[in-house]
Amino acid sequence: MESNHIVTPGELVESNAANILPGKGVYKKDGKIFAKVLGIPRKAGRVVSITPLRGKYLPKKGDLVIGRVVDITLNGWRVDINSPYSSLLPLKEFPAMVRRGDDLSKYLSIDDYIASIVANVSSQNIVDLTMKDAKCKKLDQGLVFRINPLKVSRVIGTGGSMISLIKQKTNCKIILGANGVVWIQGLPEQQLKAMQAVKLVERLAHVQGLTDKIKSFLES
């Protein structure tokens, strides 16, 4: 990520847009393509888009997110997913059988953390969650912290290489939410080490040969 590749809003990305389609983060005007967000332009086939460098998490269908229960309603739980939009986990999307008239806080109570999947996002960004997936669970114990949601894919690495390196070296269970919330469970020192490693990857996301650096950090 060299800084001369970074474009700012309003900057020209592509001067001849005759054969080019505008993707995310760009707009087309007078046959030219301009940037709409601060980020790095990328070209995939005929589509030009911009990978943003900063910003809030905007929910997308199918994302695995880690959320905190903030309210219990008559038909489910309200969950804070570190986004401008709060979300709802309906009763029927909870994996266990919930009997009629049961106290919902028996299953999930306020301030519990859960790993869940974004089931649906409406046009007004009302978010529905589901926990009916093998990856989803209530997160008991462990460490929860936040990183920049746009750096999550870097922490995962190509084909999960980075995250599996951290998991393997620290012997921790790690769940990375697409919303930038990370959950780590393991021995206390190992947990801390894994957190530091994840934060290091976030901070040095633009550095080349990062895997080796993280490896030596974890082995030190």
Partner 1 sequence: MAYARKDRGLLEPRPITARVGVIENADGSAFFKIGRTAAYAAVYGPRDLYPRALQNPRRAVLRTHYNMMPFSSVGERVRQGPKRRSIEISLVTEKALLPVLELEAYPNTAIDVFIELLQADAGSRAAGICAASMALAHAGIEMKDLVAAIAVGKVGGELVVDLEYEEEAFEGEVADIPIAMIPSTGEISLLQMDGPISKQELLKAISLAKPVLERIVKIQREALKDYYKSV
- Residues near partner 1, by CB under 8 A: 1, 3-4, 6, 8-11, 25, 27, 34, 36-39, 52-56, 58, 84-86, 123-125, 150, 203, 206
Neighbours of 140 (CB within 10 A): 8
Concatenated DSSP letters for 119-140? EEE-TT--EEEE--STT-EEE-
Least distance CB 85 / partner 1 (angstroms): 7
> Which of residues 86 and 153 has its CB atom nearest to partner 1 in the complex?
86
Closest distance of CB 145 from partner 1, Å: 16
Task: Tell me how far CA of residue 108 lies from CA of 29, 139, 160, 178, in angstroms.
Answer: 50, 10, 30, 21
Q: How far is the CB of 153 from partner 1 (least distance, A)?
A: 15
Measure the CA–CA gap between 20 and 167, rounded to whole angstroms. Answer: 41
Nearer Cβ to partner 1 (11/102): 11
Name the residue nearer to partner 1 (CB basis): 16 or 141.
16
CB of 36 to partner 1, least distance (A): 5
Residue 56 gets the label, from left (phi > 0), alpha (psi -120 to 50) or beta, of: beta
